[in-house]
Amino acid sequence: MKKYFSLIKQADKLDNKIRRKINFELTQAGFDGNGRFESLGKGLGVIAEILGRNNLEITEIMSAQYFMADQGSKTFDLQRPALPTDVFSPGPSIDNSRILISWYKFSHDKWEMLSYLS
């Protein structure tokens, strides 16, 4: 039985140094409330790029149902990407951090977004 437990993917911890780095990158990209984005989708794309550069991704599929309102917030779990040798299995979950995304629509082409890792 012990042999089988070793095959289960374990949760991963996000180092505080990496968390601070990602939060700094999010702030620099305008996710401190001072940036404006042409669309919610463009802002979400920038978040995905920042996470990807740091070997992270959002666990859930970014469903449009979460973002139908002109304002709101949602917290998402994080994980490491799948291994290139096994793309159909998810990477390890991050169990000590989540990402918060808040948004507010000023006009049809001006969105304010906040985002940070907890």
Q: What is residue 10's predicted lDDT score, i.e. its pLDDT?
A: 56
Split into its structural domains, the chain has a count of 1
> Within a domain: residue 108?
yes
**Containing domain of residue 51, as a range?**
12-117
Q: pTM here? A: 0.85
pLDDT for position 11: 66
């948004």: which residue's tokens? 103
pLDDT attached to residue 8:
47
pLDDT tens readout for residues 40-73: 999 999 999 999 999 999 998 878 888 889 999 9
| pLDDT (0 to 100) of residue 87 | 73
| Residue ranges in the chain modelled with pLDDT below 70 | 1-11
In a domain, 3, yes or no: no
Q: Provide DSSP, 45-72.
A: HHHHHHHHHTT-EESS---GGGG-SSEE
Is 91 contained in some domain? yes
pLDDT at residue 22, as a whole number? 98
Tokens of 117: 């890792």
> Mutual orientation of helices 40-53 and 16-28 as an angle, nearest 10°?
150
In a domain, 7, yes or no: no
Predicted pLDDT at 66: 85
Query: Does 4 reside within a domain?
Result: no
